[in-house]
């Protein structure tokens, strides 16, 4: 009965209840939209930095992360790669050679950049590098090269042209060779797009590495258990440097923390405003019904029942607001999923974060916890916000209340 009375009382002033529920619902919808946007933004950052570049875990010579010395190659790399391939927690293993070189084309325009040697099959499987080819094709044989869009623009090298690579080999000699360019790629990574990629064996021969590699990049089968896998590998190869993506790119971790904190702050602000609106709405209702409460108390309705009825009204108001907010927020999320939010700073280019160019459009990604959080927060805020009006109604003196005009 109290629930029926509370529902009836809630709609005595339809306009006020409707506007309050709509405003609170818009707050919930904004929180859901914000969670969808933030989730999509973090997915873009993580995809650009982790999935397309550094991988989940990297294994290096113990000194390489600090020195970046080309002489610090991974010892017994082939044995390590073979063992990792047998690990049930490891999905993909990709060896890489890293170096810096000078590049030139047919018209003698030169530019420095990053030279990388990769296992073409493993790299394509891990980072989908082959899908970043804008012109031409991905590596399919030895003694080929694909170059970044930035390098191609600087040196005027086209697909089918020749790439001169000049660097320092590990035996102290000058490494120089000419390779046919079979493709031009664009990854969004500024350093990568200013350099070139060779097949692993070709890069090893050019730099006289004798089969050595500078890093072994790993993609695990379970992203949520990367740290456990990293700990296991670090204990197995204690003489090597084993780092997870969060250790390699702490800036990304800090950015994700800032995004999460921003989301919580926004939810907190919305909930504060929600609580204020509920208190205001219910206090107005209590003031308008002072004589009614006095009559109910004089007829024997106990104060706890008064409190219960007011809390039911606040809870029902919160429930209506949640329904409105969930509907509006879901449509906002769908708009993010199918239309996206533009982050374009140039034609077809997003802004650069930590050396990585993000996608020009962010598409929504909503976690269940991010969807539930504002709904639970609104309900709790509604119930807590109803305590003050409920306590005031329960403390009314029936004689004074009945005498009020």
pLDDT tens-digit map of 351-396: 666 556 667 788 888 888 878 888 888 888 888 877 777 777 777 6
What is the four-CA torsion angle of 354, 358, 362, 368, rounded to 10 degrees?
-50
Last residue of a domain, one of 207, 238, 269: 238
What is the four-CA torsion angle of 65, 71, 72, 78, rounded to 10 degrees?
130
Residue 57 belongs to a domain = no
Check whether residue 121 and residue 85 sit in a common domain.
yes
Check whether residue 297 and residue 176 sit in a common domain.
no
Comparing CA positions, the residue from 333, 327, 338 lying closest to residue 375 is: 327
Instruction: For helices 250-288 and 290-298, give the axis angle rounded to 10 degrees.
Output: 70
Query: pTM, whole model, 2 decimals?
Result: 0.71
Check whether residue 262 and residue 220 sit in a common domain.
no
Evaluate whether 38 touches 262 at the Cβ level (below 8 Å): yes
Residue 125 tokens, joined: 């499987």
pLDDT of residue 395: 72
Residue 192 belongs to a domain = yes
Check whether residue 140 and residue 279 sit in a common domain.
no
pLDDT of residue 349: 65
* Rounded-to-integer distance, Cα 334 and Cα 295, Å: 50
Check whether residue 201 and residue 76 sit in a common domain.
yes
Check whether residue 303 and residue 338 sit in a common domain.
yes
Check whether residue 362 and residue 285 sit in a common domain.
yes
Check whether residue 195 and residue 285 sit in a common domain.
no
* Rounded-to-integer distance, Cα 42 and Cα 350, Å: 14
Residue 217 belongs to a domain = yes
Check whether residue 42 and residue 107 sit in a common domain.
no
Residue 120 belongs to a domain = yes
pLDDT of residue 378: 83
Question: What residue numbers bound the domain in which 9 lies?
Answer: 2-50+252-403
pLDDT of residue 317: 84
Comparing CA positions, the residue from 198, 187, 202, 101 lying closest to residue 146 is: 198
* Rounded-to-integer distance, Cα 197 and Cα 97, Å: 10
Domain count, the chain: 2
Evaluate whether 146 touches 139 at the Cβ level (below 8 Å): yes
* Rounded-to-integer distance, Cα 128 and Cα 121, Å: 10
Last residue of a domain, one of 238, 269, 288: 238
* Rounded-to-integer distance, Cα 40 and Cα 95, Å: 30
Check whether residue 214 and residue 181 sit in a common domain.
yes
Check whether residue 270 and residue 147 sit in a common domain.
no
* Rounded-to-integer distance, Cα 33 and Cα 350, Å: 21
Check whether residue 71 and residue 33 sit in a common domain.
no
**Which residues of the chain are modeled with pLDDT < 70?**
1, 288-290, 292-294, 297, 301, 345-358, 396-405
């Amino acid at each position: 009965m109290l629930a029926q009375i509370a529902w009836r009382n809630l709609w005595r002033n339809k306009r006020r209840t409707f506007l309050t529920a709509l405003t609170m619902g818009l707050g919930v919808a904004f929180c859901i939209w914000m969670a969808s946007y933030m989730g999509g933004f973090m997915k873009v950052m993580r995809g650009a930095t982790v999935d397309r570049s550094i991988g989940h875990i990297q294994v290096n010579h113990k000194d390489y992360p600090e020195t970046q010395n080309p002489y610090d190659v991974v010892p017994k790399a082939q044995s390590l790669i073979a063992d990792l391939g047998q690990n049930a927690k490891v999905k993909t293993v990709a060896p890489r050679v890293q170096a810096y070189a000078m590049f030139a084309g047919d018209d003698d325009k030169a530019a420095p950049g990053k030279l990388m040697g990769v296992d073409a099959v493993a790299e394509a499987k891990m980072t989908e590098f082959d899908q970043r080819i804008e012109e031409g094709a991905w590596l399919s044989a030895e003694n080929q090269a694909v170059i970044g869009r930035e390098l191609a623009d600087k040196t005027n090298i086209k697909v089918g042209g020749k790439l001169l690579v000049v660097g320092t080999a590990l035996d102290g000699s000058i490494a120089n060779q000419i390779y046919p360019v079979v493709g031009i790629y664009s990854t969004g990574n500024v350093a990568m797009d200013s350099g070139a990629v060779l097949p692993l064996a070709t890069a090893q021969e050019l730099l006289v590495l004798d089969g050595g590699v500078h890093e072994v990049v790993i993609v695990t089968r379970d992203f949520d258990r990367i740290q456990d896998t990293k700990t296991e590998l670090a204990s197995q190869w204690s003489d090597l440097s084993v780092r997870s993506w969060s250790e390699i790119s702490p800036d990304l971790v800090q950015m994700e923390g800032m995004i999460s904190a921003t989301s919580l702050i926004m939810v907190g602000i919305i909930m504060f405003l929600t609580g204020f609106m509920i208190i205001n709405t219910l206090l107005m209702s209590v003031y308008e019904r002072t004589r009614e409460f006095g009559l109910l108390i004089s007829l024997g309705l106990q104060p706890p029942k008064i409190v219960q009825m007011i809390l039911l009204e606040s809870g029902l108001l919160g429930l209506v607001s949640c329904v409105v907010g969930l509907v509006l927020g879901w449509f906002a999320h769908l708009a993010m999923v199918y239309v996206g939010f533009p982050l374009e700073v140039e034609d077809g280019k997003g802004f650069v974060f930590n050396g990585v160019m993000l996608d020009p459009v962010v598409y929504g990604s909503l976690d269940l916890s991010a969807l539930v959080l504002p709904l639970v927060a609104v309900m709790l805020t509604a119930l807590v916000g109803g305590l003050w009006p409920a306590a005031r109604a329960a403390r009314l003196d029936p004689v004074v209340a009945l005498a009020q005009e």
